[in-house]
């Protein structure tokens, strides 16, 4: 939300706000440091704040670009009606990264950031140098087993009231899939909730969950299938898999599936982390990413 453009959240997010207008929507992004670009994409229901502890150490050696998807974080909420489909998020990220003319990109992808980032990558493989995949997926249908109860609720007829009127999604999602929820202090949770103060600002939260393709009739199923079919394009570039092993949303079998897709990948399993592993083990993840980036190709 533009109203929080200059908000630093008690100094925990001190990065200068930058904006680019893409496809009629003003997208916010962080752009810190110099060198080879490292693009970090969040998923649902978070925003770039998820990477607040990644940006300072990574930007000492690399250029860190951290966009907020439309309707999330400090990005603009598009005018109604808007479907917020996977293809729209891919088009937005594509337009932003092309406008920045980024090459030799390392994509760091989490949750919905995986399909979005890989959707960009399959269109522009010549611009992608490395992949870092963290508790994400790019498979149709949904590979994580039965959908978590919270996602089922959001996809039910009661979901609109729960998400839009009661603002009931962000806090239970974060606390329920973080191994150490006590680290989510009141100020941290306030920062995650800040972009969603009113009903209309919560539309993206509702649409992300409802856009997960679980069968062929779902609108984003063909797009997800195309991304899955394109995954072999990246078998010749370095891949790092970083996985919170206590994730109930995308559990260990999904990691093993990624390992079959990319048998050459380096894997970093974090035993005491859940889905939002950035909150559980930021130092360990940053260390793994820096080692990966420094390794000879």
Ranges of each domain in the chain:
2-294
- Report residue 79's pLDDT band, with 50, 70 and 90 as the boundaries: confident
Q: Label residue 113 by pLDDT band (50, 70, 90).
A: very high
Mean pLDDT for the stretch of residues 132-150: 95
Question: Are the beta carbons of 187 and 13 closer than 8 angstroms?
Answer: no
Q: What is the pLDDT of residue 222?
A: 98
Relative orientation angle of helices 113-123 and 221-230, to the nearest 10 degrees: 60
Concatenating the DSSP letter of every residue in 151-162 gives: HHHHHSTTHHII
List all residues 6 or more positions away from 218 whose beta carbon is below 8 Å from its beta carbon. 211, 212
Task: Find out whether the peptide bond into 48 is cis, omega within 30 degrees of 0.
Answer: no
Q: Is the pLDDT at 171 greater than 90, yes or no? A: yes
Catalytic residue (one of 31, 211, 223, 247): 247
The overall longest dimension of the chain from CA atoms, in Å, is 51
Q: Is the pLDDT of residue 81 over 70?
A: no
CB 96 within 8 A of CB 67: yes
User: Tell me, what's the pLDDT at 104?
Assistant: 98
44 is catalytic: no
Q: Which residue among 31, 44, 68, 111 is the active-site one? A: 111
Read off the DSSP letter of residue 239.
Answer: E
Mean pLDDT of the region 9-29:
96
Residue 82's pLDDT band, with cuts at 50, 70 and 90, is confident
Q: Is the pLDDT of residue 1 over 80?
A: no
Average pLDDT (106-129) is 98
Structure confidence at residue 3 (pLDDT): 84
- pLDDT band with cut points at 50, 70 and 90 for residue 2: low
First to last CA, the chain: 40
Q: Say what the pTM is.
A: 0.97
247 is catalytic: yes
Residues in the chain: 297
265 three-state secondary structure: coil
Which CATH number applies to 2-294?
A: 3.40.50.1820
How confident is the model at residue 289, as a pLDDT?
98
Give yes or no for a contact between 173 and 46, defined as CB atoms under 8 angstroms apart: no
Mean pLDDT of the chain: 96
218 is catalytic: no
Quote the pLDDT of residue 66: 99
């Amino acid at each position: 939300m533009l109203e929080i453009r200059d908000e630093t959240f008690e100094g925990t997010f001190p990065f200068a706000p930058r904006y680019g207008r893409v496809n009629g929507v003003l997208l916010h992004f962080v752009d810190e440091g110099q060198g080879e670009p490292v693009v970090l994409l969040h998923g649902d229901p978070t925003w770039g704040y998820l990477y607040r502890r990644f940006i300072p150490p990574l930007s000492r050696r690399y250029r860190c670009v951290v966009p907020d998807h439309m309707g999330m974080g400090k990005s603009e909420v598009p005018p109604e009606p808007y479907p917020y489909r996977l293809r729209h998020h891919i088009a937005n990220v594509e337009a932003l990264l092309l406008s920045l003319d980024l090459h030799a990109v390392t994509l760091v992808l989490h949750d919905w950031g995986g399909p979005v980032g890989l959707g960009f990558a399959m269109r522009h493989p010549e611009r992608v140098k490395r992949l870092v995949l963290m508790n994400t997926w790019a498979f149709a249908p949904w590979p994580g087993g039965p959908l978590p109860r919270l996602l089922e609720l959001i996809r039910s007829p009661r979901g609109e009231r729960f998400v839009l009127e009661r603002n009931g999604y962000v806090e239970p999602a974060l606390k329920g899939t973080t191994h150490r929820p006590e680290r989510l202090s009141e100020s941290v949770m306030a920062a995650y909730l800040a972009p969603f103060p009113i009903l209309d600002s919560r539309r993206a939260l509702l649409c992300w969950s409802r856009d997960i393709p679980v069968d062929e009739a779902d609108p984003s199923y063909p797009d997800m299938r195309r991304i899955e079919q394109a995954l072999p394009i990246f078998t010749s570039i370095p891949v790092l898999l970083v996985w919170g092993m206590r994730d109930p949303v995308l559990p260990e079998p999904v990691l093993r599936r990624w390992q079959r897709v990319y048998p050459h990948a380096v894997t970093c399993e974090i035993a005491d982390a859940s889905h939002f592993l950035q909150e559980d083990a930021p130092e360990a993840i940053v260390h793994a990413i820096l080692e990966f980036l420094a390794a000879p190709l």
